[in-house]
A and B are shown apart, each in its own frame.
Chain A
Amino acid sequence: MTLLTVAVLIAAGSFLAGMLGALTGLGGGIIVVPMLTLLFHVDLRYAIGASLVSVIATSSGAAAAYVREGYTNVRIGIFLEVATTIGALAGAALSSVIPTSALAVLFAIVLLYTAVRSFQQRDEHPSNDPPHPWAVKLRLNGSYPVKGEMVPYTVQGVGSGFAIMGLAGMLSALLGIGSGVVKVLAMDRRMRLPFKVSTTTSNFMIGVTAAASAGVYLHRGYIVPTIAFPVMLGVLAGALTGARVLARTSTGKLRTLFTGVVTILALEMLYKGVTGAL
């Protein structure tokens, strides 16, 4: 196949991944890496490099819209980025000693977890309890607009939230994904942030986390322009299209489709990882 044919095929697959990721809110990175390795037979490390670039593109592209709504909590973002960035650099260091077959198995586990989570409702339990003492010291508590009024919220579980974010950063670097599912776990469940605050703040952090390991991988030669450009353009176009049509589609069937795709990819990654075919 010529370069043009390969690029068009990769861009088309990435477009679908980006659209599905935006529509389900779970991100496209988790589909891009298995697509590149299983369908296009690209080495896992090149796939991770290309995927990280696309994660940065969608996160930064979507952030501009979120920012206008005024939900992002910059202090929570920066505080947790300390954890995700350190986690990402540690993950990038680890990735040079972990065999790719082990990474494929880890990827399969994260895919399966994502599939399970995508069927569970996210429960919102915003908290009126007194905030965690660190939340006061770090001035993390904030307020967000609900029907034109600013509603205050308090932050819980600062320590465990910070630790889980470190893990999210490490997974992001090891697997080339945004780790949105893990970030949501930390921010919704442990820190008890309102949905709109956790979603927008998490999106903001995803780009910074991915940039940390992408920088390291650039030097290691993981980022190949001929693979990364169709992935970046495809995912970005898909995500923008997905955000446009989101208002007009029911997400129920899409969620089923997404879960189906993710489960199949997980089983394939698991098989290839265990048999050492990757």
Chain B
Amino acid sequence: MTDSARPTRWTDHQVEQVIGRLLQFGVLLATIVVVVGMTGLLATHSGPAADHRVFVGVAPELRSLGAILHGAFAGHPEAITQLGLVLLIATPIARVALTLVAFVVQRDRLYIGLTALVLALLLWGLLRG
């Protein structure tokens, strides 16, 4: 049975099934991207590993979404690895977004409000920091 053949309002259980798949997909995709970046990192890196005893913060190119995407598409292994990590951070955020869609479909006003608040806080953290 396809989704369109089902009653238009999702049940909580159906929503949870879709969410479960989304989370699995997110982790898998993030892992693949991290492994690609890691392979590049290990292949191109020479000499001793950097010292991380003292905090200076990672390079600015690896701190914002735009810069990371730019670096990843230019083929920089560090940026690709960081993109994989960002995809992982985005996975639970995507789950909240999907939950919001489900509450909109269910026309559950109270939970549309609460979920939108959580989503806004998460997006603010990821995009503006």
Contacts and interface: CB of A to CB of B under 8 A. Distances in A.
B118 A81 contact: yes
Given A1-B49, A207-B91, A227-B52, A219 B64 contact: yes
A78 B114 contact: yes
A197 interface: no
Given A64-B20, A225-B85, A227-B52, A211 B126 contact: yes
A139 B108 CA distance: 11
Contacts of A225: 37, 41, 58, 62, 78, 81-82, 85
A207 B48 CA distance: 34
Interface string B74-118: 000010011011101111110110010000000000110011011
Nearest to A83: B118
Nearest to B117: A82
Given A78-B118, A85-B122, A208 B95 contact: yes
Contact of B85 (A7, A63, A82, A232): A232
A218 B126 contact: yes
Interface size class of A (residues with CB under 8 A): 35 or more
Contact of B89 (A56, A61, A221, A236): A56
Contacts of B125: 88-89, 92, 211-216
B122 A222 contact: no
B69 interface: no
B118 A208 contact: yes
A162 to B, nearest CB: 12
A57 interface: yes
B55 A43 contact: yes
B71 to A, nearest CB: 11
Interface in B1-49: 12-13, 15-17, 19-21, 23-24, 26-27, 30-31, 34-35, 37-38, 41-42, 45, 47-49
Interface stretch (A67-75, A180-188, A246-254, A268-276): A67-75
Interface string A71-102: 01011001101100110110010000000000
A45 interface: yes
Given A60-B91, A78-B114, A228 B27 contact: no
A3 B37 CA distance: 14
B82 A64 contact: no
B116 to A, nearest CB: 10
B11 to A, nearest CB: 11
B38 A74 contact: no
Nearest to A211: B92
Contact of B57 (A61, A139, A211, A220): A220
A74 B52 contact: no
B58 A221 contact: yes
A62 to B, nearest CB: 9
13 contacts: A3-B45, A4-B42, A46-B52, A53-B89, A60-B95, A208-B93, A214-B125, A215-B125, A218-B63, A219-B129, A221-B57, A221-B58, A223-B85
Interface of B: 12-13, 15-17, 19-21, 23-24, 26-27, 30-31, 34-35, 37-38, 41-42, 45, 47-50, 52-60, 62-64, 78, 81-82, 84-86, 88-93, 95-96, 99, 110-111, 114-115, 117-118, 121-122, 124-129
Given A210-B92, A233-B35, 10 more contacts: A3-B41, A68-B20, A211-B91, A215-B89, A215-B127, A218-B126, A219-B64, A219-B128, A226-B81, A227-B52
